[in-house]
Each structure stands twice: as C-alpha cells, then as structure tokens.
Chain A
C-alpha cells in the first residue's frame, strides 16, 4: 500500500503513464522481422548453445535468416528475454519464431509482438528515470522526458520496430549517470556492457575516460576498465570465423569506413574517423586546461558524426535521442533538432524496403505486401537517390550545427 502511495505521488507519473499508454497501444500491431529473428536465435541459449556464431554456421537449417550479426551479449540478453516471455506466449511461440514468410498470418502475432516489446519498453522507461536524475531544473526534467518518450525516433524504434538498440542506449545513459556521480569505474563498465551488445559505445569510451577529473593515470584506468566487459564477452568468440565475418568485419561494422577521400597509392582519409579524432583532441584539450568535459555533448557529437557519415539503419538514431533530450533546451537548438528528425524520416522512408514503412502493418492485412514503396512513388516526381541524399545531407548539416552549438559555442553547457 505504501509503495502504491509512493507511485501515485511520483511527480512525473503522468508523463510516464502517457508514454506507457501510447507504447502499449502501438506495440501489438507493428511487425518487423528483426525482433523475431533475435528472439528465434535467443532461444538456443535455453538449449545450451553458448557460441551462437559457430552453432549457426554448423547448423544452417537453424539459420534461415542468416548469421547472428550482433555482439555476444545481445544473444544472451535475448535468450533471457525468451525464457521470460515464452511461458506467457504459449506453446506455438517457439514454432512461430522459426516461421518465415507466413509469420504475419499467425492468429497470435499480436500477443507475441506485445510480449517481445515489453522488455524494450522497460528499458526505455528506465532511461527516462535516469534522465530525471541527470537534469537539475524541474521544468527541464519534464521537457526532457516528453522529448524522450514522444519523439518519433523512440516511438518508431521501440514500439513499432522493436529494436534492441534501446538497451545499449540505456547503458550509455547509465554511464553518463555514474560519471555525473564521479563513479567512473561503474560508468566504464556500463559502456563496456553496451559495447558487448552493439559496438558503437566503444567510440564513447575515450571521452568518458577524458571526463575524469582525476589524473591521466586514472583516465587510462577508466579506459582500460571499459574494455573489460567488452572483452569478457567477445574474447571467447574472437577465434570464431563466423563471428569475425558477421560481426567484426561485417558490412554494418565497416560502414563508418566508407566515407573517405582518396590520396592515391591505396591510401584514404577516413572522414568519420577524422571528425572523431578532432573531437578527441578537443576533449583532451579541455582536460589539459582542467575544464569540465561536457560529456553528454561529446557522446551526442560522436554518435551524430557516425550517423551523418554512414548509411545508417533507422534504429541507430535512438543512440542519440537520450542526449538530444538532455541538451535540446535552448531555442537555437530546436531547429537543428527538427532537421535531424526530418532528415532521418526522409532517409529511411526512401529505403527500398517496404518493411520499414507500410509493411510494418502486415499483421493487420497482408495485402500491404503488394503496395509499392514510398521510393517507388517518389520516382514519379524526383530521382529517389537524390531525394534521399538531400535528406541525409539535412541530417548531417543539422548534426554539425548541434555539435557546434553544444560543444564549441557552449550552448546549454551541461554540468
């Protein structure tokens, strides 16, 4: 009873309830195969499979969707989620996870989609709690929560697509929280765990280390400690060729190398890394001058550089939204924030993949499969490649402006 009273007295309860209502409403009706694939492979954990990469390579009949393309912790987490969900989902759930083209016809698909997305919504809510802890001003807390829960990216990635990216995003915010409490070792472990699910948090680790207010030796210790969780989960599979091919050097991992200038003689300038190195030097300079390292701004900058400079998947944008929710308070940040959202919407809706748009509603009617994509419609008026590129350029320009305002001009410096 006391707990219930405390819940009812929670100052931001209305925002959380509105968010839960919206996400519970949407979750059952939108279906993207990625969530099914992750849970399908996750069920092998309950069968004693520890190295999912070698297992799928040796048992191709169990891998109709190809290899597992995420680092190992994602597999273990999805395995745990599967164990929790499967008793509620019913006896046909395991078989449904293995189905291919006819998965959308299952009469229980709405139940499966809802249950599979609940853990992801849980992490989104947890991140909301962290945002409350990270922001001091009361009104800013409310704005931040509303931005976090109701921005189109979160709604799309968590409630509609059901992507696991919300979990490493949560871990990066957890790292920020620990850093704000000067618990740098815990922050480093959180980053390392995030990297063991999706590799991008490794790019944030140097900036976390540089934000340490102690000695350079402490900075190095924080950096090395952040690598430990990542290595704990990846070292056992590092010798596995399937892991190497499908995760380490996969097409996805290599995308940040694609934007480059040729110097001739087989040498390239890698633009994304160029920008990341500049940011690193900027952060190091702040440390040298014993100034505060604006960690959420650096985290946001790193992520926006990666997104601007690579052919991203739509769910990758959720890596940035918690930090956008923390930083976008000044009026001059609103416009580039909108630019990022519009750019993102334009880019992914013009992908030649109907399952990112109308195809998400196939549980409601399979006739949607035969509708043309938005890209097909756009061909009537404009070259879709140029149109999509324009949107990506908008996202990139907006990102650069946000980075400039938050890092170099010091707008809304986060303490």
Chain B
C-alpha cells in the first residue's frame, strides 16, 4: 500500500470508528436532561432554615436531581435531608446525605425510582440540616438575582431572591425517542455556534484542498 494512502486510510478509519461509537451511544443512554438551571453566582448555607425550591418537570419518569455543594476542607460531617414533594405535599422522595458525601465543591446526585407521571407537574425540592450543625457550614449553589422564569427559594421565614442551581433528568425507556433527541441535540449544538462550525469545516476543507493540490509526493 502506498505510503501516501495509508495515513489517509488510518485517519478515515479512526473518524468512522468515532462516528459509529457516537451513533451507538444513545442505545446505552438511559437518563436524559429534563430541566436545568445552570447559572450560579452564590452559595446558600444549609443551616437552621429549611430550603424549599419549586421546579416544573417537563417529562414523565423523573429520576435524578443533581445539586452542587461546598463543604470547606471536607470538614463538615453533619446529616442532611433531601426531599421531593408533589404539588399536594406528598413526600415522593426522601433521602439522607451527610458531609461525607460532599466535596469542595462537588455535584451530588439524588437518584430515585422514576416518577411515572411527572410531566408538567410542579414539585418542591427540600433541603434541611438534621444533626447539630458543624462549622464550617455546608452550602448549596444558587443564583442570586435576575431569576427570570425560575421560582425563588423559600426559607422558613419567606422567599429570597435566589434560586437553586440544579439539573433534573428523566429515565428514557423509548430508544427511538432517545435517538431522535440525541440527533436533535447535536444539530442544536451545531446551530448554537454555527460561526465556529463554519470555520471548522473550512479548516478541514483547506486541508483537503492542499492535499489535492499536493498530489503524489515527488520522489528523488
């Protein structure tokens, strides 16, 4: 095989392998993003006041909520409670966690059995400290100010101008829907930064153009 063709065949092989791997990924993915409030510019202490955050879920089978915490120097080992309450006040999820589960900072994943009919329903995330509080205190990531459509956090003594930073995922059982969602997601990401992708395509095209102009290498 010509030494000019081999590198291109290798490049093509790796690219095709990567594309095939990427296309097969949705078959293994079971959890998809439901809703997310990603902005964070502050941390709210988990102290003596219960934190309540309202969220609206977009899909059935909600099963994961991720929050971001800080536990300075990993020193706090207090006990905390995470709850998810339905609109009617029913406790749907009740989980305990402690400072031992928390880094500085770190995401903590609360995973539970999928809530079958969660679509278009309002839920409340509750965080409270249980044991006698240690110092330094644990805190949870929030966004302060400019809440836009997000609901404000309620403390025991009223609402505050903050909203939790969180991600919520649902269990996706229909592989066809997952695949369609996956492809739509990629197209959406490309269109979100089309300026870069145009430049990127041009860079790849330039390499190919130079290759075509180069032709076979000259032999001595």
Q: Taking beta carbons and an 8 Å cutoff, which residues of A are in contact with B?
A: 7-9, 11-15, 17-22, 24-26, 28-29, 64, 100-102, 105, 107-108, 110-111, 114, 138-139, 142-143, 145-146, 149-150, 155, 358, 361, 363-368, 370-371
Contacts and interface: CB of A to CB of B under 8 A. Distances in A.
A360 to B, nearest CB: 11
A190 B18 CA distance: 36
Interface string B68-102: 10000000000000000000000000000000000
Contacts of B193: 107-108, 110-111
Nearest to A370: B31
Interface stretch (B50-58, B112-120, B154-162, B207-215): B207-215
Contacts, number: 137
A155 B13 CA distance: 13
A101 B107 contact: yes
Contacts of A25: 11, 15, 204
B210 A18 contact: no
A26 B6 contact: no
B31 A9 contact: no
A142 B66 CA distance: 50
Interface of B: 3-4, 6-8, 10-11, 14-15, 18, 22, 25-26, 28-33, 36, 38, 40, 64, 66, 68, 104-105, 107, 165, 167, 169, 172, 178, 182, 185-186, 189, 192-193, 196-197, 200, 203-204, 207-208, 210-211, 213-214, 217-218, 220
B114 to A, nearest CB: 13
Interface of A is mostly: helix
Given A8-B214, A21-B11, 8 more contacts: A8-B213, A17-B210, A22-B11, A24-B203, A107-B189, A139-B3, A155-B14, A367-B169
B196 A114 contact: yes
A371 B28 contact: yes
| Consensus secondary structure, chain B interface | helix
A107 B194 CA distance: 10
A111 B105 CA distance: 26
A145 B217 CA distance: 15
A12 B29 CA distance: 42
Nearest to B171: A370
6 closest residue pairs by CB, A with B:
A18-B7, A107-B192, A111-B196, A367-B29, A22-B11, A102-B38
B11 A19 contact: yes
Nearest to B66: A101
